Amino acid sequence: TTVVRREDYAAPAFWIDSVDLSFDLDPAKTRVLNRMRLRRNPDVPTQPLRLDGEDLNLARVMVNGGGCSFKMDGGQLVLENLPGLDDGGTEPFDLEIFTTCNPAKNTQLMGLYVSQGTFFTQCEAEGFRRITYFLDRPDVMSAYTVTLKAEKTLYPVLLSNGNLVDSGDLEDGRHFAKWVDPHKKPCYLFALVAGKLVHREQKVIARNGAEHLLQVYVRPGDLDKTEHAMNSLMASVVWDEARFGLPLDLERFMIVATSDFNMGAMENKGLNIFNTKYVLANPATATDTDYANIESVVGHEYFHNWTGNRITCRDWFQLSLKEGLTVFRDQEFSMDLCPSPSARAVKRIEDVRVLRTAQFPEDAGPMAHPVRPDSYAEINNFYTVTIYEKGAEVVRMMQTLVGRDGFARGMKLYFERFDGQAVTCDDFAQAIADANPGSELANHLPQFKRWYSQAGTPRVKAEGAYNAAERTYTLTLSQSCPTTPGQDHKEPFVIPVNLGLLSHEGRELPLQLAHWSNAEAGTRNFVLTQASETLTFINVDAEPVPSLLRAFSAPVVLECDYTDAELLVLLAHDTDAFNRWEAAQRLALRRALKAINEPGPVPTEPLNPAFITAMRAVLRHPDLDAAFKDLVLTLPAETYIAEQLAEVDPQRVHAVREAMRAQMARQLFDDWAWAFEAFEGNGAYSPDSTSAGRRALAGLALTHLCLAAADSGNTVWPGKAYQRFKDAGNMTDRFNALSALVVSGSELAKPALQRFHALFKDEALALDKWFALQAGAPDRGGNILPTVRQLMQHPDFQPRNPNRARSVLTTFCQANPAAFHRADAGGYVFWSERVMDIDGFNPQVAARLARALDRWKKLAEPYRSAAREAIARVAAKPDLSNDVREVVTHALK
């Protein structure tokens, strides 16, 4: 395999100004006529034209209407004798290429493929080369004209990017549609769709009076599940114009849903293609989480229209330029739609939870890479939580350093400078800094950009000391960053630390540093730039409790030797909701680590009475939001706990967390019962965050009530859960009740699962939940692996459908550690079989599953040796894809 390096970037030798594509669509043999207008790039030395291609049958090549000589080199089509090559001229010339491909056989779902009889494309990152020979790189931007021809009864709807300029009937029952995209774009944003689809549409008028048509296309029968996606799209259009002054630049904006899709969705210009999971929802089939995900993914893809499409990436090393920024934008969008500051805080906590449970492990593992990587073997492996979620945190820190208005100014300058261009992460950071002279960002820009170049999660150690005689409080903040593959030494980062001080009674204290003229209560933003810095606060009357890194102002691990009593003060009184939640997490984590590390059997009561009392106070609190209570009362995930350990015994981690949960179930029994009654609600379904929070808390209560019942042999609560499962008016309540039965191991779980299957046998997304619930259930005596093998024999298990495969395999291998990490190595053997099998037809899905063993080096024996062996078995397979090979090679290093 060849490795691509960022430092080797060179501008293309040719530009492709325009492309005229004509498709004769046929599942087994699609004909593609590609007519391009090219011109030499005068800025680079004379070179032959090398066009990328993959799995294509080449029929004809013509230059300026005549024959020409060419050769094949690897997959590339090389043309040496082109006009202007000898004399250095830059006159444009025409190149015509005729190829065929086989969409029905395309199981990778990259390029042109067929899903349930409908044609779809996926071109990012390098799929366009599977459609025609091209300069398949994001810095080549062209004007597209696309003509689609197909049989009319099978493919009545023919879509591509831009505006429909012509359509009509052809001979033999065929018809055509011609689309012109008014915006130049890189080929990874090309898309076409052809099939039997129905749509919902909506006209919207922009601020300047321009009219736009919004459309959502789905398979016949799914139209009643498109309202929420359309509402989310309309809200996105309004938000981007209001918050950033970015209007919709197209007459028509389309979303199309497909059930066979490798990722979540794709931002093709004017023709977004979505996984059905992020489009289809009605109250009967989708949960609150689905509704929230649809809102953010629809927003995300729509916001790419400016951050990604109007300004794109120079090369794929700059991927976070569009992804980190667009995740930041979709996070802000969802926050701005929140009804209250506490709902915003809930959203922030949820985002941080993803970062810490998925990205921190990646940053500490064999695939750790900077937000702007230096090299890759397969770019598809770099659509990671680091590029996306850590990238979003880097953008968020910029906003923190220049302020919200300053950030909006920076975005404006970014578009003034680079609209219509393919640029770099440096260009973006420079624009934000230049729009904010004198800001902390501008003052430290080269150092700040280490967030782009250095991998690993920085650690910030905070040490406070109170001097009663002087009435001073000194706070020393020191930073360090662990080594990561290829990076042994790290330089200090620029770390914004939002902080406040509380009295032991929980009062927010005025903050005054020696050089400040006055004291101010509330959050102050301190920017840590040195390896270690000490702050001295004056006029402090009593020893304070520091509230640090408020709202999680930087993606770091904060180490602070809080006493339990101090954490209880923060949990009860901090004005920063994030840190209230964080205090509870720290308290729980502390007890978990103690129980895991002490010798002997797992204690039956790992939690202390003070913690239980504090949880009761939160649960019963009259003013806190239900959604916030749900987060506080949810224990840290097993994977998050595991990350804090030097050596991990997944069985012990699981047993301790289960013991903690059982203790909370028992000792808060009356409180859970109260909460369930108080929050269960029965009105008409609305997906708003307040109602969703109430349902989430009622669901959490029901799970604990069933767990406690299982412990004591009581059958009242499982009976109630079964009743609720049967009678629920929406999927969220129904699924939560089913989950409570499954998680608590109730005898009623089996009939409930059967009933659920009968109810939803024709609803693919609901069936995915059914599979995932069983693959993710608590392991009792090693029963889950056999269950998973059985699930794979189920007639509804479709191994080639990525959603279905993930619902069973990813859930088992990544979301059910105690079931997966078996002392008999059965989980690892199963993993290696699945990775190798899937790699044969879909390398992207296989490579994602391969990441399940990233952290094998942290495992205790016998897991560690068995995991290594399984990875080595995969690595030894001779015909692995680049995708999987890169993952297992790094893992074994």
Candidates 183, 269, 300, 804: give the one binding ligand B3K (CB under 6 A). Answer: 300
Contact between 842 and 800 (Cβ < 8 Å): yes
Name the minimum Å distance from CB 109 to ligand B3K. Answer: 10
**DSSP run (H or E) holding 203:** strand 198-205
From the list 225-233, 296-304, 464-472, 859-867, the region that binds ligand B3K by CB under 6 A is 296-304
DSSP 83-133: TTTTT-----EEEEEEEEE-GGG--S--EEEEETTEEEEE-TTTTGGGTS-
Helices and strands of the chain, counted as H and E runs: 31, 32
Q: Tell me the per-residue interface mask from 526 to 565 with Zn ion, x by CB under 5 A, - otherwise.
A: ----------------------------------------
Q: Tell me the per-residue interface mask from 480 to 519 with ligand B3K, x by CB under 6 A, - otherwise.
A: ----------------------------------------
Sites for ligand B3K among residues 231-270 (CB under 6 A): 263, 265-267
Looking at beta carbons only, is 124 or 643 nearer to ligand B3K?
A: 124
Candidates 380, 381, 484, 816: give the one binding ligand B3K (CB under 6 A). Answer: 380
Q: Tokens 């010339």, residue?
A: 93
Looking at beta carbons only, is 125 or 352 nearer to ligand B3K?
A: 125
Number of residues lying near ligand B3K (CB under 6 A)? 12
Q: Which amino acid type is present at position 299?
A: G
Site membership for ligand B3K, residue 125 (CB under 6 A): yes
Contact between 94 and 238 (Cβ < 8 Å): no
Pairing of strands 198-205, 252-258: unpaired
Closest C-alpha among 818, 845, 850, 855 to residue 358: 855
Name the minimum Å distance from CB 811 to Zn ion. Answer: 24
Candidates 288, 301, 363, 393: give the one binding ligand B3K (CB under 6 A). Answer: 301
Looking at beta carbons only, is 149 or 304 nearer to Zn ion?
A: 304
Name the minimum Å distance from CB 357 to ligand B3K. Answer: 20
Candidates 15, 133, 383, 669: give the one binding ligand B3K (CB under 6 A). Answer: 383
Site membership for ligand B3K, residue 192 (CB under 6 A): no
Looking at beta carbons only, is 428 or 448 nearer to ligand B3K?
A: 428
Contact between 175 and 168 (Cβ < 8 Å): yes
Name the minimum Å distance from CB 273 to Zn ion. Answer: 13
**Cβ-proximal residues to 308 (8 Å cutoff; 6+ apart), any chain:** 267, 322, 323, 326
Site membership for ligand B3K, residue 316 (CB under 6 A): no
Q: Which does 585 bind (CB under 5 to 8 A by kind): Zn ion, ligand B3K, none?
A: none
Whether 301 is a known active-site residue: answer: yes
Site membership for ligand B3K, residue 323 (CB under 6 A): yes
Q: Which amino acid type is present at position 260?
A: D
Looking at beta carbons only, is 268 or 430 nearer to Zn ion?
A: 268
For residues 100 and 653, give the distance between their C-alpha atoms in angstroms, rounded to a whole number: 54
Name the minimum Å distance from CB 720 to ligand B3K. Answer: 42
Provide, for the chain, the percentages of residues in helix, strand and coil under a 3-state DSSP scheme, each rounded to the nearest 5: 45, 20, 35
For residues 51 and 778, give the distance between their C-alpha atoms in angstroms, rounded to a whole number: 51
Dihedral sign for Cα atoms in the order 828, 831, 833, 835: negative
Q: Which does 347 bind (CB under 5 to 8 A by kind): ligand B3K, Zn ion, none?
A: none
Name the minimum Å distance from CB 740 to ligand B3K. Answer: 34
Contact between 183 and 214 (Cβ < 8 Å): no
From the list 164-172, 325-333, 454-462, 472-480, the region that binds Zn ion by CB under 5 A is 325-333
Residue nearest to ligand B3K (CB): 124
Looking at beta carbons only, is 380 or 803 nearer to ligand B3K?
A: 380
Residue 727, Cβ density class (10 Å: 0-12 exposed, 13-18 middle, ≥19 buried):
exposed
Name the minimum Å distance from CB 554 to ligand B3K. Answer: 23
Catalytic residue among 54, 126, 301, 332: 301
Dmax over Cα atoms in the chain, in whole Å? 96
Looking at beta carbons only, is 136 or 440 nearer to ligand B3K?
A: 136
Contact between 262 and 111 (Cβ < 8 Å): no
Looking at beta carbons only, is 384 or 744 nearer to ligand B3K?
A: 384
Sites for Zn ion among residues 709-728 (CB under 5 A): none
From the list 67-75, 173-181, 297-305, 854-862, the region that binds ligand B3K by CB under 6 A is 297-305
Strand order in the sheet with 524-528: 524-528, 495-502, 545-548
Closest C-alpha among 312, 269, 304, 268 to residue 140: 312
From the list 211-219, 321-329, 510-518, 762-770, the region that binds Zn ion by CB under 5 A is 321-329
Q: Tell me the per-residue interface mask from 278 to 317 with Zn ion, x by CB under 5 A, - otherwise.
A: ----------------------------------------
Contact between 93 and 38 (Cβ < 8 Å): yes
The number of C-alpha atoms within 13 Å of 862 and in the hemisphere containing its C-beta is 8
Looking at beta carbons only, is 317 or 856 nearer to Zn ion?
A: 317
Looking at beta carbons only, is 265 or 343 nearer to ligand B3K?
A: 265
DSSP 397-464: HHHHHHHHHHHHHHHHHHHHHHTT-EE-HHHHHHHHHHTSTTSHHHHTHHHHTHHHH--S--EEEEEE
Phi/psi at 834 (5° precision): -65, -45
Closest C-alpha among 532, 458, 538 to residue 501: 538
The DSSP bridge partners found for residue 459 are 480, 557
Name the minimum Å distance from CB 473 to ligand B3K. Answer: 44
Looking at beta carbons only, is 383 or 725 nearer to ligand B3K?
A: 383
Q: Could you count the other beta carbons within 10 Å of the beta carbon of residue 171?
A: 5
Name the minimum Å distance from CB 141 to Zn ion. Answer: 18
Contact between 418 and 311 (Cβ < 8 Å): yes
Pairing of strands 93-101, 459-467: unpaired
Strands (E), 321-385: 375-376
Q: Which does 588 bind (CB under 5 to 8 A by kind): Zn ion, ligand B3K, none?
A: none
Site membership for ligand B3K, residue 124 (CB under 6 A): yes
Number of residues lying near Zn ion (CB under 5 A)? 2
Name the minimum Å distance from CB 263 to ligand B3K. Answer: 5
Name the minimum Å distance from CB 308 to Zn ion. Answer: 7
Token pair listed for 149: 């021809």
Q: Which does 380 bind (CB under 5 to 8 A by kind): ligand B3K, Zn ion, none?
A: ligand B3K
Active-site residues, by number, are 301
Instruction: Give me the residues that bind Zn ion (CB under 5 A), please.
Output: 323, 326
Per CB under 6 A, residues contacting ligand B3K are 124-125, 263, 265-267, 300-301, 304, 323, 380, 383
